[in-house]
């Protein structure tokens, strides 16, 4: 059974710092990996999607990497801003089933201090 773990569970950093969020998954047979952002009481916004054949994806100040063989992904946020404060969820879709249901981690709650 696929399990997704995110470390740390919570993180507070001063504005302007670069930071890394970690995600690990137990079954390397994935179709893709996705990072989402969730603001309190809101739905999910997709940030980056990495297909299993890819190593990384970039969007603005965000860079996500994928090492499928070791079951790890990182989300790098450059020059953090207070508006980046949110919960960041890592999620995978398994390649053995084509139902595409997403398996989520519990998230990392990020707080950027002004």
Residue count (the chain):
114
In the complex, the smallest distance separating the C-beta of residue 99 from other proteins, rounded to whole angstroms, is 5
Written as one string, the DSSP assignment of 2-53 is --EEEE-SEEEEETT--EEEEEEES---EEEEEEEEE-TTS-EEEEEEEETT
Per CB under 8 A, 26 contacts other proteins = no
Q: Which is nearer to other proteins, 83 or 99 (CB)?
A: 99
Max distance between CA atoms of the chain, in angstroms, equals: 44
- Which residues, 34 to 73, sit near other proteins by CB under 8 A? 34, 36, 41-46, 49, 51
Per CB under 8 A, 104 contacts other proteins = yes
In the complex, the smallest distance separating the C-beta of residue 14 from other proteins, rounded to whole angstroms, is 25
Is there a contact between 55 and 66 (Cβ–Cβ < 8 Å)? yes
In the complex, the smallest distance separating the C-beta of residue 42 from other proteins, rounded to whole angstroms, is 6
Q: Which is nearer to other proteins, 19 or 49 (CB)?
A: 49
- Dihedral class, residue 20 (left if φ above 0, else alpha if ψ from -120 to 50, else beta): beta
In the complex, the smallest distance separating the C-beta of residue 10 from other proteins, rounded to whole angstroms, is 10
State the Cα–Cα distance between residues 46 and 43, nearest whole angstrom: 10
Per CB under 8 A, 103 contacts other proteins = yes
| Residue from the set 4, 21, 66, 92 that interacts with other proteins by CB under 8 A | 4
């Amino acid at each position: 059974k696929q399990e997704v773990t995110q470390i740390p569970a919570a993180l507070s950093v001063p504005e302007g710092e670069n930071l890394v969020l970690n995600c690990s998954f137990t079954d390397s047979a994935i179709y893709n990996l996705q990072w989402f952002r969730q603001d309190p009481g809101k739905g999910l916004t997709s940030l980056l999607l990495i297909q299993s054949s890819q190593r990384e994806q970039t969007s603005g100040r965000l860079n996500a990497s994928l090492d499928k063989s070791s079951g790890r992904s990182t989300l790098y946020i450059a020059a953090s801003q207070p508006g980046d404060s949110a919960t960041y969820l890592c999620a995978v879709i398994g390649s053995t089933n084509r139902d595409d249901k997403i398996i989520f981690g519990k998230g990392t709650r990020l707080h950027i201090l002004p």
